Structure 1
């Protein structure tokens, strides 16, 4: 599978598109806004007069969130200058802002990609991208157009050795050897990502990264990210039992995804030794993108929440499902998935742990 062509959000602006179902990602960006604003202000104050601040958004995708980072950065600088004027501090020197919006070629928003020259970027931002796995040589972007980046599961899982038959990710039945493979490949991916971004950042450049993770160190307690994919695996298995999907198709399907713990991320950053950690924390977001109350553990409308979650997940994985299983099963699959999510939410509200990391280059 030419995965870089299929690992992208659902295109268009229809009912099942990412553009229509990307509120979950918007909420994460708004939650992390204070950290981003702090990074922007510090960079802005440090740059000399009449310079250009270069900001790159890795994994911008398409839809209403695509220009949200642009708006946040411009708004932050505008607010900072307004406060300086009110406090009668010297006005900031004139500055230009340059934005690079970057994603895989399969996404709709694919006409503004640029390579990043060495020492050219002041701020890298990436939201909801780094849990998607990658392996291979790439020179300029985690999700870049024209790179040789190959998104893939570990070789041992894609070469005919089906070691994870009852799961499409890391589940209760996943063998320890498979868990080890996922963990090792993720560590390699993140270390390489940090090294390449370091080479593209200016001296003292910043990165603000947000991605799904887990709260527990124990891989067997992988948390709600794993539960979400377990339910999708169960939905696929139900179609196998109905004769709508071949068993071989299911057992050969493994998601290109890994949700790390905070400690795993911290260890990779420390061993990489190219960045200082300015901030690292975890917050939670409800599975249902329309549910903004993360404190109440009761779901009042389980049926509607199940549908909301199913639409959100479909917008993310539909191209991968279509490529591997065919388009004919999509409606049935996500109808079953919505029902299973609804039953899951009757037990308690499900939440994603989300990791935010603010790094500053050491050079």
Structure 2
């Protein structure tokens, strides 16, 4: 499987699209906002750049794509008023793999620019946004171009599936200890490439799925085990071939805090300013009211299946075909509901703030 040709979120604005099933990713961005705002404020007040250049790596498409640049513009505009300083120009580079739905993003830009002019006045900015297709595991921008790198819910995706052989048979998540060296090299490469593209004293904030436990087989990635069970059920029913499941692995890995800190230290291009951990529920809700627990569990199962489908359907359809998608995710709903009847399901997220050396 050529990852860069297959990996993308569900396109468009339909019922199963990423645009309509990315509430969880929005909640993650919202929870990480204080770190982003703190980092960009420190960068701006230290350097006062005439043009602030921001790169969003793994931007995807939908309502979340322009959320971070909107937050950045708001805080920089406020700082400029406080300092009695002319507002900077803004340039944002939206990066994702070539099959990302860039067309949907571009169609929203005229409305975005018009809203800025109405809210900030004709003398604001200007703000320029462009798409940069390509893998962030390769150089995508010229040297010393970017003042601020941002990435949310992206760098746990890898550029390739490490060789697994029989060791991961029946499982779709890369959980074998033998791949840890490969994962470390991928993340080190990512940091090394960004260090060439970032300006002196530039900043970076990454939000990535992680795990609290040292054990890569821990419960933090149990949602993939439930999807593996769903696929294996379809094997038992004769709907898909066992060999196709055995040879299929997501290019996906969630690190521990120690792994992240070790990789940043060994690679050596950035100072680690801050790392914090927070949880979000599987369905992206931020409501702790469980009075209607059974009903809420059923709703959560459906939401979890829809957001998972919006993210991984292209990968699954490439391997198994479109015909099994509905049956697979109906089975997945049942497994998620059963799991939630016993314990709560949460994603672990790391917010990592880095400073260039």
TM value normalised by structure 1: 0.86
Per-residue CA deviations over 1:188-227 (Å, capped at 9, x if unaligned) read 011011011001010011000001000011224x232x20
Pair 1:170–1:95, CA change in 2 (3 A): closer
Per-residue CA deviations over 1:41-75 (Å, capped at 9, x if unaligned) read 111112246x2110000001010111111111111
Per-residue CA deviations over 1:166-186 (Å, capped at 9, x if unaligned) read 311156xxxxxx3221x2111
**Paired position in structure 2 for 1:141:** none
Structure 1 residue ranges, 4+ long, deviating more than 4 angstroms after superposition: 294-300
Q: Equivalents in 1 of 2:205, 2:292: separation in Å?
A: 32
Tell whether the 8 Å contact from 1:297 to 1:349 is kept in structure 2 after alignment. Answer: no
Equivalences for residues 165-176 of structure 1 within 5 A: 165-170=169-174
Superposition deviation, residue 295 in structure 1: 8.9
Tell whether the 8 Å contact from 2:16 to 2:306 is kept in structure 1 after alignment. Answer: yes
Q: Are residues 1:211 and 2:221 paired?
A: no
**Paired position in structure 1 for 2:20:** 20
Q: Equivalents in 1 of 2:80, 2:343: separation in Å?
A: 45
Q: Are residues 1:153 and 2:152 paired?
A: no
Q: Equivalents in 1 of 2:174, 2:349: separation in Å?
A: 18
Cα-Cα RMSD = 1.8
Pair 1:193–1:231, CA change in 2 (3 A): same
Superposition deviation, residue 288 in structure 1: 1.0
Tell whether the 8 Å contact from 2:6 to 2:318 is kept in structure 1 after alignment. Answer: yes
Tell whether the 8 Å contact from 1:122 to 1:202 is kept in structure 2 after alignment. Answer: yes
Tell whether the 8 Å contact from 1:284 to 1:294 is kept in structure 2 after alignment. Answer: no
**Paired position in structure 1 for 2:9:** 9
Q: Equivalents in 2 of 1:94, 1:284: separation in Å?
A: 36
Aligned pair count reads 324
Per-residue CA deviations over 1:309-363 (Å, capped at 9, x if unaligned) read 000000000000000000000000001001110111111211011011000001x
Tell whether the 8 Å contact from 1:298 to 1:349 is kept in structure 2 after alignment. Answer: no
TM value normalised by structure 2: 0.87
Q: Equivalents in 2 of 1:297, 1:187: separation in Å?
A: 43
Tell whether the 8 Å contact from 1:22 to 1:312 is kept in structure 2 after alignment. Answer: yes
Pair 1:278–1:319, CA change in 2 (3 A): same
Superposition deviation, residue 239 in structure 1: 0.5
Pair 1:48–1:75, CA change in 2 (3 A): closer
Per-residue CA deviations over 1:14-51 (Å, capped at 9, x if unaligned) read 111101100110000000000000111111112246x2
**Paired position in structure 1 for 2:264:** 269
Unpaired stretches in structure 1, ≥5 consecutive residues: 85-89, 135-151, 172-177
Equivalences for residues 236-255 of structure 1 within 5 A: 236-255=231-250
Pair 1:27–1:122, CA change in 2 (3 A): same
Pair 1:299–1:281, CA change in 2 (3 A): farther
Tell whether the 8 Å contact from 1:232 to 1:337 is kept in structure 2 after alignment. Answer: yes
From the two aligned structures, give the one with the greater helix fraction.
2
What's the secondary structure of 1:32's corresponding residue?
Answer: helix
Aligned match of 1:259 in 248, 254, 261?
254
Superposition deviation, residue 77 in structure 1: 1.3
Per-residue CA deviations over 1:111-134 (Å, capped at 9, x if unaligned) read 733441101100000000010012
Tell whether the 8 Å contact from 1:120 to 1:202 is kept in structure 2 after alignment. Answer: yes
Using the TM superposition, name which of 111-120 and 9-18 deviates more. Answer: 111-120
Equivalences for residues 37-56 of structure 1 within 5 A: 37-48=37-48, 51-56=50-55
What's the secondary structure of 2:173's corresponding residue?
Answer: coil
Q: Are residues 1:63 and 2:29 paired?
A: no
What's the secondary structure of 1:186's corresponding residue?
Answer: helix
Superposition deviation, residue 79 in structure 1: 2.8
Q: Equivalents in 2 of 1:275, 1:242: separation in Å?
A: 51
Superposition deviation, residue 281 in structure 1: 1.1
Aligned match of 1:185 in 182, 186, 194?
182
Q: Are residues 1:223 and 2:223 paired?
A: no
